[in-house]
Structure 1
Amino acid sequence: MSWTDGPLLGFDTETTGVDVTRDRIVTAAVVRRDAAGTVVRTWLIDPGIEIPAAATAIHGITTAQARAHGAAPAVALEEIAVALTTALAAGTPVVAFNASFDLSLLDAELRRHGLPTLAGRLGAPVSPVIDPLVLDRSEARYRRGKRTLADLCAVYQISDTANLHSADADVVATLDVLAAIAASFPHLRELTPDALHAHQVAAHRAWAEEFNSWRASRGMNGPGAELTWPGRDAAPAETVADTAALPA
């Protein structure tokens, strides 16, 4: 029996931006897939700050919608964290595309609201996690082109992509891409979830070091790619009290 037989718990967020220490979760989805089928749970959250127009253009949620219909952040974040850590504690892999972004942002949000982080709840590192982006970079290293979720859906011939950039649709697409990667590279199916997690830690570091070396060779400034996966070595998030007086 392989990890591909399930259960798997997919996770994705749509946010106010891409800064894992300062931006907020607007919507989230957790999708459980096993032999019995697929079960989707979603959240709409009032992030407590203005949602930039550029973010709304991607996921379609306005500040007014989030304020009128969104859950209080602390309540929703607690529910999301419980769903993820319950699965992880049972050995069920969490699947996320570009997992380091979503998991790091979630942990920053939990700290912001005085809630335990995922690792704090588990009493151990967050594992096992499966990231189709990391696997595709590793297994199809020399394929040219971008590697967004939409790009990989095209590569692996996932057709149901009309609603990408909604959290639940992105999770379902991520799980479909993962299944296609496992079919294309069957040696991945033979690994245990823990061994697959360790494989991705090493694969991500190798990619990040090579990418950062390429940037340096061209004189590019900036931090480059994080070496760690699935967590980032990010600064702690500010608390709600810290940001209460900040402009939108």
Structure 2
Amino acid sequence: MAAVPQVLRSEWTKIRSVRSTVWTLGIALVVTVALGALICLLASNDFGTMSPRDRLAFDPTNVSFAGMGLGQLAMIVFGVLVVSNEYGTGMIRTSLAAVPQRGVFLFCKIAVAALLALAVSFVTAFLTFFIGQAMLGEHAAALGDPGVLRAVVGGGLYMTLIAVFSMGVATMLRSPMLSLGILMPFFFLISNILGNVSATKKVGWYLPDQAGQKVMQVVPPAGSDVPYGPWGGFAIMLAWTAAVLFCGYVLLKKRDA
């Protein structure tokens, strides 16, 4: 049986030796921080023209995470590439021959990539918050305000789970093009449509991205009737991620490389 520490080192070597996976993490950080800072600056300039209702619902913490949408795109690509690169090059056969215990192989791959994504996501979340609040000036929130630290930590966890969810999908589908072809429309088109159409709005509440983003909110949106709180939404996203990983594991066990 392959020793777990050795497999972990092997997976770390694979990830850092492929430039595309490292670059996607860097892009996620830069895009999220830069776009968040820009949106915060624009929000600060427009604050005086807001209606009293909009001012009451203004969430400076969540505004700083406005760039998270594009940042999660890079995290999706990272998650897909971590898994599917080996299928594309045929290295998966060598990897499974070296580590025939497929559960150990998958666990180590997900663990190493998830820890790397977690580290980058937390740096991104805190940088995004502090730079965004600096752009907001007098309208900014402080890290010690109620709910703010939870939202910032939640932002890091959300980005991490997006990457892990994508790893699970890529494990099931094996193809990078097919994985991205499903994940991109799902997160950036289907989820938005379901969440903004009154007939399907309640379905949208329980999709992984919409539920997970709840953890980054400090001030609930005006008129929101979502039946769960920040950590409830995060739990829904966690359940989705666990289910996808389990399906990926089952398929990996049953089929040939």
TM-score (norm 2): 0.27
Structure with the larger strand share:
1
Length-normalised TM-score, structure 1? 0.27
Of the two, which has the highest radius of gyration?
A: 2
